[in-house]
């Protein structure tokens, strides 16, 4: 380990040791965390060696962090670790995993440690994110099938609202109104794409598409009825309204195909649900 990496690790350990309990509460109450948090993490990033390593359920994955936004996304996985753990603990050897809204590969890389490349399909329409997804897989000697399209319940071309200038921003979404920057991407119904591309039918699906979750599920109705046994879906109660849907529509659709639903992680108003099929419809 290089000297810079050792210094970075030391800074993290000191933070973990002292920034807790009463001290953390006082710092937050005083507002000092807002003053020092960003400079602290930028220093840690500068010393990081441009990779972040995380181990979940015995699977270690190294993520490239050439930008500060990537580093922020991967620095602790606080908002994702519980869901990734739930996904990994739910997998069976014969499963086929779809990562819808794969971004730069957080879920794809962890699952690729469990399943073979022919059992993982990642869907991501943003070109720069696809490039980084491939690099993260290669960096870990892993592989998966990557489909560079957005899933929905329509076919054709749509504008994708780009959240920022750096890879790893994580909030790119199909544009539903006026936005500062967009790129045109291909959009497909999942059921139709499976047939046309002869893709393996999924048994487990993870969906994180910034409000388009009902549209994605609506385009996968045949798949939900036939092959899928588990759905992990992040619900965005505010953003989903931009797609003429609501949270209740997601629950109603999943329950109509025999899925039982539980919330497994909350982040503000957004939350991940786990939908499990108990009986085949």
What's the mean pLDDT in 32-41?
Answer: 82
pLDDT of residue 167: 65
pLDDT of residue 279: 64
C-beta of residue 167 within 8 angstroms of C-beta of residue 74: no
C-beta of residue 99 within 8 angstroms of C-beta of residue 111: yes
pLDDT of residue 222: 97
The token duo for 155 is 């076919």
The span from the CA of 263 to the CA of 275, in Å, is 9
pLDDT tens-digit map of 204-231? 999 999 899 999 999 999 999 999 999 9
pLDDT tens-digit map of 123-176? 999 999 999 999 999 999 999 999 999 999 999 998 888 876 656 555 666 766
pLDDT of residue 275: 97
pLDDT of residue 171: 61
C-beta of residue 189 within 8 angstroms of C-beta of residue 199: no
Per CATH, the number for 77-277 is: 3.40.50.150
28-42, 93-107, 226-240, 241-255: least confident range: 28-42
Residue ranges, comma separated, of all CATH 3.40.50.150 domains in the chain are: 77-277
pLDDT of residue 79: 78
27-31, 182-186, 252-256: least confident range: 27-31
The token duo for 93 is 């050897």
Question: pTM here?
Answer: 0.89
pLDDT of residue 180: 63
pLDDT of residue 31: 81
């Amino acid at each position: 380990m290089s000297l810079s990496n050792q210094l970075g690790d030391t800074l993290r350990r000191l933070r973990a040791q002292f920034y807790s309990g009463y001290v953390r509460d006082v710092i937050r109450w005083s507002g000092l965390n807002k003053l020092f948090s960003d400079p602290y993490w930028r220093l840690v990033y500068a010393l990081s060696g441009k990779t972040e390593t995380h181990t979940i359920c015995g699977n270690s994955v190294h993520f490239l962090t050439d930008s500060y936004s990537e580093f922020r996304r991967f620095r602790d996985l606080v908002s994702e670790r519980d869901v990734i753990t739930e996904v990994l603990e739910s997998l069976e050897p014969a499963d086929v995993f779809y990562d819808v809204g794969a971004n730069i590969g957080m879920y794809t890389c962890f699952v690729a440690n469990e399943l073979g490349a022919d059992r993982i399909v990642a869907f991501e329409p943003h070109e720069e994110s696809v490039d980084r997804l491939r690099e993260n897989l290669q960096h870990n000697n892993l592989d998966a099938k990557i489909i560079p399209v957005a899933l929905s319940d329509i076919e054709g071309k749509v504008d994708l609202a780009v959240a920022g200038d750096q890879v790893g921003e994580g909030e790119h979404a199909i544009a539903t109104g006026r936005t500062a920057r967009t790129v045109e991407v291909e959009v497909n119904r999942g059921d139709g794409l499976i047939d046309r591309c002869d893709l393996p039918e999924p048994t487990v699906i993870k969906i994180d598409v910034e409000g388009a979750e009902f549209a994605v599920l609506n385009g996968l109705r045949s798949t939900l009825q036939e092959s899928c046994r588990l759905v992990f879906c992040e619900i965005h109660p505010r953003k989903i309204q931009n797609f003429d849907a609501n949270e209740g529509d997601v629950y109603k659709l999943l329950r109509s195909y025999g899925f039982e639903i539980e919330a497994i992680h909350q982040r503000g108003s957004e939350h991940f649900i786990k939908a499990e099929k108990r009986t085949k419809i």
